[in-house]
Amino acid sequence: MQAAFFKLADIIPYNEAEDYMKKAVVKSYGKKGEKVVNMNFAAIDNAISGLVEIKYPESWATTTEGAAPVKPADNEYFKNIVFPILAQEGDSLPVSAFTPDGTVPTGTTQYEKRGVAVKIPQWIAENCIQCNQCSYVCPHATIRPFALDEKEAAEAPASTKLVQMKGKGCENYKFTVAVSPLDCMGCGLCVNVCPAKVKALKMVPQESQSEQQKAFDYAVANVTKKDIPFADTTVKGSQFNQPLLEFSGSCAGCAETSYARLITQLFGERMYISNATGCSSIWGGSAPSTPYTVNRDSGRGPAWANSLFEDNAEHGLGIYLGQKAIRDKLIGYIKQLNYEDADKKAAVEEFLATVDDGKKNGAAAKALIAVLEANADGELEKKILAEKDYLAKKSVWIFGGDGWAYDIGFGGLDHVIASGEDVNIMVFDTEVYSNTGGQASKASQMGQVAQFAAAGKAIGKKDLAQIAMSYGYVYVAQIAMGADMNQTIKTLVEAEAYPGPSIVIGYAPCEMHGVKGGMGNCQSEMKRAVEAGYWQMFRYNPSLKAEGKNPLIIDSKAPTGSYIDFIKSETRYSRLIQAFPERAEELFTKAEEQAKAKYDRLVKLGQIYE
Amino acid sequence: MQAAFFKLADIIPYNEAEDYMKKAVVKSYGKKGEKVVNMNFAAIDNAISGLVEIKYPESWATTTEGAAPVKPADNEYFKNIVFPILAQEGDSLPVSAFTPDGTVPTGTTQYEKRGVAVKIPQWIAENCIQCNQCSYVCPHATIRPFALDEKEAAEAPASTKLVQMKGKGCENYKFTVAVSPLDCMGCGLCVNVCPAKVKALKMVPQESQSEQQKAFDYAVANVTKKDIPFADTTVKGSQFNQPLLEFSGSCAGCAETSYARLITQLFGERMYISNATGCSSIWGGSAPSTPYTVNRDSGRGPAWANSLFEDNAEHGLGIYLGQKAIRDKLIGYIKQLNYEDADKKAAVEEFLATVDDGKKNGAAAKALIAVLEANADGELEKKILAEKDYLAKKSVWIFGGDGWAYDIGFGGLDHVIASGEDVNIMVFDTEVYSNTGGQASKASQMGQVAQFAAAGKAIGKKDLAQIAMSYGYVYVAQIAMGADMNQTIKTLVEAEAYPGPSIVIGYAPCEMHGVKGGMGNCQSEMKRAVEAGYWQMFRYNPSLKAEGKNPLIIDSKAPTGSYIDFIKSETRYSRLIQAFPERAEELFTKAEEQAKAKYDRLVKLGQIYE
């Protein structure tokens, strides 16, 4: 590249540039021997001899039209703000175009339709076992299962592929898996995780699937949620819930968004998110569009905010305490309601009985609001209705990466879990500062190559989970979606239900890791990591202690794979072998020993609690 | 007080004021019954009837002279800066009077001679068993043992009490315990800890002991350190080392300064201290004088600095890394020295052989410097001598209270221990923000009353030691001087010698605790705390792991005393019983259970490592 640059840019005579470059080669590689030096010389020479001029059409030089982004007709925010920015006319927007408090509507990535994937999945209906794992792992919510009733099936576009839905109680429904060709990033995770005997998905050229956009858009806009016997706390059932995080700008195959998307399917309609700076604040809120969205039926979805890198946990705690103060006041009013009518009384009692139950309290609040609105002249009713959005129990989440949780935001994270308050923390653990180019964090592992650890990190990974467990009243877990999909969803549900602080640390392979075969193997890489004893899965649930049970449940089996073989398959480790083979040997061996000791220690900790 | 104020200040007619105060009494105490209300009424009435006017001498109103502070003749800094400030003429000092970099000389509290104690200890030589425990616990270094040779004994002032020194190898020495009447704070700790059958110390009026100042000053200025068979890593032996923290402004009976003073006796001559904001930064560096001082013979003592509350650990790490970079460079030069002379060669080899041994490297550096100075024309010698102060291995300490270590500075503390670097952290754990009036910290215990925890802290104490142990390569210990003087000194020596990060958490009873009988019982209160299972003593030494031994040594026995009886004896807990008796019962019971569980867990953790 450097040779080509100097040849074309003509800053100094090329002969001189060549001379400088070749001297630099000798200086850098001289001690590696003549062969290496000659290979580098050849690279310089071949760059020049290989230069090919590509002529662009002459019309390009004089055109006045850019590529037009998709232009939706029916969204004012998109029309007035997003479209001008996407058209690179953001400078023309007056300050008055923006809201004074910095809030923006959610659900706007749906209008972007980037269409960046070369290949996207095609659903082969006849092979499908209807497990929904493709949707469960999809980082971008671009592949989704639907159950259609007779009418919906009849009205569906011709490109919609329908099969009989499997399972007792599903006899009246057709099943489809819809793919959004213009939103899919083409990572191929869905194909790779498909457990059907003969894969029910295959990657095909995007342009061959353009008719599928209609099928996807129809299903998303029209197909209702059905009363089917798959609990939405299961892998399969959860995927019939509308994802409230969609079409974000995260990398293809990103593990972080797979976790976050799932969380929105479980709790999104009553969710606040305080998001630390990092990848998750970029894919979570890249101006001008927002991937968090609202449920089509309820109109509710996550409220999302990003404060500073160093205060995200505290910011989330503040959100929690703020809404709690208002809600506690309203609960006080509700206790003063004195209805004689049995139905009204029942609505009040149901609300108060479920006040700490996030799952049930939403419906109870809805019913209570209906009662209050029918008595809207009452003083108490007026006061409660004025803040009715605070009535239903909320689910407060604090999102961030390892750079935040282990390092820069750790002081605050510790303070927040120590507080005992009912907040949920989700750590996307990529073991590196992914968003800023890959600096080592305290979550980086021994021997891992990263910025500030060019010779491989010499000390082990900080044990954030063990630190959190030291409080005894914090729900603490480590998960790895690709290693155990059931454990992941079970953990998230338990963490959210626990009436105190919860922290879930999710292993998140990342573009930065150099996973063999690319990020389409992200989920299987998690499985390999657990089998090799590189990552442990477990749940520490203080509620079990109160029931006289062992609070620590270890969900990982003892390692069966080779730790060193595993890490050698990722370039973040293998590059150390190239650069410093002896040090690599030493650090990798030590890292393997420590990983074994860590698992043993976990097992013994489990015995302590018994 | 309020009644007296309104009576004398005449801001509003007293009758009106009385009316307001009595209404306030009814409002505050009405629900506690007529008896309580009447007691409060009586307090107001008695305040007025009890007022007595005290006439001061008329001359006071016209005097132009203030009380003159002690005026030393021989210290420029004291004369030019300290004296004008103490004389309340600090405003007259020009900016140019101060150093541009903010450094000030140490060892200046010795000139203050506050003389605030009403009673001070008198040493009864014939009862003394020469254990030095009085000196070991003294917060202010105002009671010190000395071993005098024949000449020193002969030249000592007449008021010096001398006895034959006990112990093999001490036949030629006289022994004395010197007390500084004008520096002693009168806490009485020395008398209380004296283990002699008949106490060898008793509290007597200060003015009766004025002749003892001469004896103290003579010994401090003239008596040399003797080669006696008491290792300075023992309770007794350590006290023959000059304390390099003396006469600070800490409270009478302060536990923090007892720890800090001892640390300076062990490592003070090669010590850097980075001090967090809090009590220890106040008693450690109250302008205009400094209690840290230098050894009389070597001229060396702690270099002390105070950065921000939130960055003290990082600041200390920076100090460590800065001196290490310079020293590593010098070590590189030393390795290039190529002396043929056997003695010179031996000096170089001894230095390099002891380069990581703080105890031995000082003497080796001194010998090496002598060799270098004899060859001062050499290029390498010049370079090394230019920075010779960096040659000897230093001891870097990071001091702070629990408000810093558990709360505000915790993020940085965690980062520093995670770094693996060779720094030593001393936490003075008073379980409350002592310096700012007693706010609860994460170190405060369940049921403890503090600011922001007026109804007793509802959650337990953060387990900082367990968090630090999670790294596996950090030396971690909890100590309580009054519970085990030997364990305290053994721990400090081990922590300093450990070639990686060390954190020692010292239990520090505080004025704020309301200890029964006052802070003269500070040391025995630590003993009671350990016996009641309120505080645990242990050491986690990663070096033992490398030797195949169990790194966790539990120095506390299983509790024998009553946890609840112990906490009830301190007003920080007993006031909860008065304010909220039921809540006190509940929290105290839970706290006791948790303390037992904590000890059990510690024992089991010990078994894990075996």
Question: Can you give the three-state secondary structure of B316-327, one letter per residue?
Answer: HHHHHHHHHHHH
Name which of A411, A442, A608 is nearest B410 (Cβ-Cβ): A411
Mean pLDDT of A33-53: 93
Distance CA B544, CA A124 (A): 61
What's the order of all strands across the beta sheet hosting A174-179? A143-148, A174-179, A163-164
Under 8 Å CB-to-CB from A297, ≥6 apart: which residues? Answer: A224, A225
Report yes or no: B383 and B326 within 8 Å, Cβ to Cβ. Answer: no
pLDDT at residue A69 tops 60 = no
Q: Give residues 447 to 486 of B whose Cβ lies within 8 Å of A.
A: 458-460, 462-463, 466-467, 470-473
Residues in chain B closer than 8 A to A407 (CB atoms)? 415
- Band (pLDDT 50/70/90 cuts) for residue B29 is confident
The sign of the CA dihedral A556, A558, A563, A565 is negative
Q: Which residues pair with A398 in a beta bridge?
A: A274, A425
Q: Which residues of B touch A545 (CB under 8 A)?
A: none
Cα within 13 Å of Cα(B296), Cβ side:
13
Q: End-to-end distance of chain B based on CA atoms, in angstroms?
A: 62
Residue A440 has pLDDT above 70, yes or no: yes
At B19, phi and psi to the nearest 5? -60, -50
Query: What Cα–Cα distance (Å) separates residue A546 from each residue in A7, A470, B447?
Result: 73, 16, 20
Tell whether the model's pLDDT for residue B235 goes beyond 80: yes
Q: Do B458 and A418 touch (CB under 8 A)?
A: no
Digit-coded pLDDT (tens) for B54-108: 988 888 888 877 666 566 657 788 888 888 887 888 999 999 999 899 899 999 8
| Distance of residue B328 Cα from the nearest chain A Cα, in angstroms | 19
Count helices and strands in chain A by DSSP H and E runs: 25, 13
Question: Under an 8 A CB cutoff, do B605 and A608 touch?
Answer: yes
Q: Is the pLDDT of residue A608 over 80?
A: no
CA–CA distances in Å: residue A192 to residues A203, A251, A486, B193: 10, 17, 18, 73
Q: How confident is the model at residue A577 (pLDDT cuts 50, 70, 90)?
A: very high
Chain B residues within an 8 Å CB radius of A414: 410-411, 414
Across the interface, of A420, A442, A462, the residue whose CB is closest to B459 is A420
Q: Which residues of A touch B415 (CB under 8 A)?
A: 407, 410, 442
- Alpha carbon of A162: minimum distance to chain B alpha carbons (Å): 54
Tell me the C-alpha distance between B5 and B20, whole Å: 14
Q: Categorize the per-residue pLDDT at B610 as very low, low, confident or very high, splitting at 50, 70 and 90.
A: low
**Torsion, CA A305, CA A308, CA A314, CA A320, rounded to 10:** -10
Instruction: Kindly tell me if the per-residue pLDDT of B413 is higher than 60.
Output: yes
Helices B571-579 and B581-609, packing angle to 10 deg: 140
Q: For residue A340, give both structure tokens.
A: 């004689």
Residue A247: predicted pLDDT: 97
Largest interatomic CA distance in chain A:
97
Digit-coded pLDDT (tens) for B246-292: 999 999 999 999 999 999 999 999 999 999 999 999 999 988 889 99
Contact B439, A439 (CB under 8 A): no
Chain B CB contacts of A411 below 8 Å: 408, 410-412, 414
The tokens of A522 are what?
Answer: 């992200």
Buried b / exposed e over A63-91, threshold 16 CB at 10 Å, is eeeeeebeeeeebebbeebbbbbbeeeee
**Chain A residues whose beta carbon lies within 8 Å of the beta carbon of residue B412:** 411
Cα-atom radius of gyration of chain B, to the nearest Å? 27
Per the CB < 8 A criterion, the answer to whether A312 and A274 are in contact is: yes
Q: CB-based contacts of A604: which residues, under 8 Å, 6+ apart?
A: B608
Q: Tell whether B205 is within 8 A of chain A (Cβ).
A: no
B463:A470 CB<8 A: yes
Tell me how crowded residue B32 is: count the other CB atoms within 10 A of its CB: 11
CA distance A217 to chain B (A): 47
Asked if residue B271 lies in contact with residue B359, where contact means CB atoms within 8 angstroms, the answer is no
Taking only Cα atoms into account, the Rg of chain A, rounded to an integer number of angstroms, comes to 27
- Give the nearest chain B residue to A443 (CA atoms): B418
Q: Closest to A473 (Cβ–Cβ): which among B420, B459, B470?
A: B459
Dihedral over Cα of B573, B579, B583, B589: its sign: positive
**Rounded Cα gap, residues A303 and A270, in angstroms:** 9
Residue A600 is encoded by which pair of tokens? Answer: 């043993």
| Percent of chain B scoring above 70 in pLDDT | 99
Per CB-CB distance under 8 Å, the chain A contacts of B418 are 442, 459, 462
- Report DSSP letters for B547-579, one per residue: TTS-SEEE-SPPP-S-HHHHHHTBHHHHHHHHH
- Please tell me whether the interface predicted TM-score (ipTM) of this complex is above 0.90: no
Which of the four pLDDT bands, split at 50, 70 and 90, describes residue B426? very high
Query: CB-based contacts of A13: which residues, under 8 Å, 6+ apart?
Result: none
- B167 CB burial (10 A radius; 0-12, 13-18, 19+): middle
Question: Residue A87: its pLDDT value, please?
Answer: 80
A364 contacts A388 by C-beta, under 8 angstroms = no
pLDDT at A70 over 80: no
Is the Cβ–Cβ distance between A467 and A415 less than 8 Å? Answer: no
Q: Do A458 and B418 touch (CB under 8 A)?
A: no
Which of A77-86, A133-142, A351-360, B243-252 is predicted least confidently? A77-86
Q: Answer whether A459 sits within 8 Å of B605, measured CB to CB.
A: no
**Band of pLDDT at residue B354, cut at 50, 70 and 90:** very high
* Minimum distance, in Å, between the CA of residue B410 and any CA atom of chain A: 6
pLDDT at position A75 = 75
Which tokens sit at B151? 């000449």
CA distance B295 to B270: 11
Across residues A5-25, what is the average pLDDT?
93
DSSP character at residue A142: -
The C-alpha atoms of residue A38 and residue B590 are separated, in whole angstroms, by 75
Beta strands B143-148 and A502-507, pairing class: unpaired
> Residue A158 is encoded by which pair of tokens?
């011709």
Distance CA(B607)–CA(B552), nearest Å, equals 9
Mean predicted confidence (pLDDT) in B206-232: 96
Interatomic CA distance for residues B605 and B610, integer angstroms: 9
Across the interface, do B470 and A466 touch by the CB < 8 Å criterion?
Answer: yes
> What pLDDT is recorded for position B67?
63
| Phi and psi angles of residue B604, each rounded to the nearest 5 degrees, phi first | -70, -35
Q: Does B410 touch chain A (CB under 8 A)?
A: yes
pLDDT confidence of residue A206: 96
Q: Is A418 in Cβ contact with B414 (below 8 Å)?
A: no
* Strand-pair partners of A570: A515
Neighbours of B328 (CB within 10 A): 11
DSSP codes, B210-278: TTHHHHHHHHHHHPPPP--S--TTSHHHHTTSPPSB-S--PPTT-HHHHHHHHHHHHHGGGEEEEE-SS
Can you tell me the distance from the alpha carbon of A596 to that of A559, in angstroms, rounded to the nearest whole number?
Answer: 8
Of all residues in chain A, the one with the smallest CA distance to B420 is A459
Residue B207: Cβ within 10 Å count: 10
Tokens for B470, please give them. Answer: 């999670």
In whole numbers, what is the pLDDT of chain B averaged over residues?
Answer: 94
Residue linked to tokens 């790895």: A480
pLDDT tens sequence across A304-353: 999 999 999 999 999 999 999 999 999 999 999 999 999 999 999 999 99
What mean pLDDT value characterizes chain A?
A: 95
Q: In this complex, is the C-beta atom of B139 within 8 Å of any C-beta atom belonging to chain A? A: no
Closest C-alpha among A373, A307, A315 to residue A344: A373
**The dihedral formed by the CA atoms of A138, A141, A142 and A143, expressed in degrees to the nearest 10:** 60
Dist CA A507 CA A501 (whole Å):
20
- Per DSSP, the residues of B328-342 read HHHHHHHHH----SH
Q: Reduce the DSSP state of residue B539 to 3 states and report it.
A: strand
> Which element (helix H / strand E) includes A307?
none
Sign for the pseudo-dihedral over CA of B587, B590, B592, B597 = negative
pLDDT at B70: 60
Asked whether the beta carbons of B554 and B603 are under 8 A apart, the reply is: yes
Q: What is the pLDDT of residue B79?
A: 83
In the three-class reduction of DSSP (H, G, I as helix; E, B as strand; rest coil), residue A439 is classed as: strand
Residue A292 buriedness (CB in 10 A; 0-12 / 13-18 / 19+) = buried
